Amino acid sequence: MVIGLGLIGTGFMGKAHALAYRNARAVFGDLPETRLARLCDMPDERAQAMADQLGFASATGDWRALVADPAVDIVSITTPNGLHREMALAAIAAGKHVHCEKPLALRLEDAREMEAAAREAGVRTMVGYNYIHNPAIAHARKLVAEGAIGRPVHFRGWVDEDYQADPDLPWSWRATRAEAGLGTLGDLGCHLVSMSQILMGPIESLIADTQIIHADRPLPDGSGRAAVENEDAASAIIRYGSGAQGTLCSSRSAWGRKNRLDWELHGTKGMIAFGQERLNELQLYTNEGPAGRQGFRTILTGPEHPPYGAFCPAPGHQLGFGDLKTIEAAAFLRAIASGAPVFPDFTDALAIEAVIHAIDVSAREGRRVTL
């Protein structure tokens, strides 16, 4: 079995997808052969140059040509979020499997349309919530499943960066509802929700508030200032279907946070905590043994925490961001080959993204929103 990849976009995420698919089988071994079939970017020259660098067999400046290409089995969509919908629908219509970057779409109704189309077409889908593929996260889930911390009762998460912290940063399309959709919730918040979903299960309802920290920003051409329309920060208090509660917080204007995605999971017998900026560590506290010897322990990931061992047989050597993307690609390839389910597909992603829109609605309408 040979699976052909068609990649649309060669920016941050495009390159990450290319490297991930390039490496997945070399790392894991037990995967179908993957062919880097076609790459699309604009203009043609850039597409060709990137195809050459990244090792794709062909290149095009026309994404519809890529979607139509019979050598392409998976369409990877890594373009700006506002373009996902049209590309995904076209790929689904062409019967391709789709690997789409997060979030699915700017508006929830678009995400719903994409999910329905994929479900009806029966193609396989995957959405790029890559932080959940960390062996440390897999280990956290295993610890919870084994009862190491008892029944999960409370969850708190934070996802922060500082790319919009500077008040003097010029205004851009990122500040508009029309082009960017949500603010920090769409960029960062959905990552946190993906963690919450995989660790705690579905959210039942929430109350929330959002904040525009920098009300306007200078126009790049110096002609004045323009309003920021979407939230810089958001906070929600959530109730899970399980009866647990918690909080989710996000800011894109949090100085010093470069890729913070921290969470803590409170159980009846212990606690687990994690921070993405130290992605190879997991903090575990259990109410076991003599009280005087209890404390949070720092578990450094290693071969005991699959699939770390596929990368390195020695503990403590550290996986990186790219490695998590390779695990994600491998999961999708394995799912396509075996027919087994994969997380998060478009249906899972829809549930994830419904939460960030519910936060937005709750904040705007000042009421509890039930999911």
Binding to its own copies, residues 123-152 (CB under 8 A): 139, 143, 148-150
Report the SS3 class of residue 171: coil
Residue from the set 74, 89, 165, 182 that interacts with its own copies by CB under 8 A: 165
Kindly tell me the burial class for residue 367, based on how many C-beta atoms sit within 10 Å of its own C-beta (0-12, 13-18, 19 or more): exposed
Asked if 366 is part of the footprint of its own copies (rule: CB under 8 A), the reply reads yes
According to CB under 8 A, which residues from 99 to 118 bind its own copies? none
Q: Tell me the two tokens of residue 265.
A: 């999971």
According to CB under 8 A, which residues from 284 to 323 bind its own copies? 284-287, 290-300, 302, 304-305, 311-323
Site string for its own copies, 2-21 (x = CB under 8 A): ---------xx--xx-xx--
Report the SS3 class of residue 237: strand
Residue from the set 44, 45, 53, 62 that interacts with its own copies by CB under 8 A: 53
* Cβ within 8 Å of residue 51, ≥6 positions away: 38, 39, 57, 58, 59
Asked if 158 is part of the footprint of its own copies (rule: CB under 8 A), the reply reads yes
- Please state the closest distance from residue 275 (CB atom) to its own copies, in A: 11
Closest among 327, 260, 231, 350 to 20, alpha carbons compared: 327
Please count the residues of the chain. 371
Asked if 48 is part of the footprint of its own copies (rule: CB under 8 A), the reply reads no
According to CB under 8 A, which residues from 209 to 228 bind its own copies? 209, 211, 213-214
Distance separating alpha carbons of residues 109 and 125, to the nearest angstrom: 18
- Please state the closest distance from residue 353 (CB atom) to its own copies, in A: 21
Residue from the set 177, 225, 269, 364 that interacts with its own copies by CB under 8 A: 269
Q: Tell me the two tokens of residue 88.
A: 């995904």
Which among 48-56, 87-95, 114-122, 340-348 is the span making contact with its own copies, rule CB under 8 A? Answer: 48-56
| Residue placing its CB nearer to its own copies in the complex, 34 or 60 | 34
According to CB under 8 A, which residues from 227 to 256 bind its own copies? 233, 235-237, 239, 245-247, 249, 251, 253-256
Query: What sign does the CA torsion over 188, 189, 193, 199 have?
Result: positive
Closest among 156, 160, 158 to 246, alpha carbons compared: 156
Chain Cα centroid distance, residue 147: 27
- Please state the closest distance from residue 44 (CB atom) to its own copies, in A: 18
Which among 1-9, 77-85, 187-195, 208-216 is the span making contact with its own copies, rule CB under 8 A? Answer: 208-216
Site string for its own copies, 62-101 (x = CB under 8 A): ----------------------------------------
| Residue placing its CB nearer to its own copies in the complex, 311 or 346 | 311
* Cβ within 8 Å of residue 101, ≥6 positions away: 13, 77, 78, 79, 81, 84, 127, 128
DSSP secondary structure code for residue 187 in this structure: I
Asked if 207 is part of the footprint of its own copies (rule: CB under 8 A), the reply reads yes
According to CB under 8 A, which residues from 176 to 195 bind its own copies? none
Asked if 361 is part of the footprint of its own copies (rule: CB under 8 A), the reply reads no
Query: 300-331 b/e with 16+ CB inside 10 Å = b?
Result: ebbbebebbebbbeebeebbeeebbbbbbbbb
Asked if 169 is part of the footprint of its own copies (rule: CB under 8 A), the reply reads no
Asked if 172 is part of the footprint of its own copies (rule: CB under 8 A), the reply reads no
Closest among 142, 238, 270 to 199, alpha carbons compared: 142
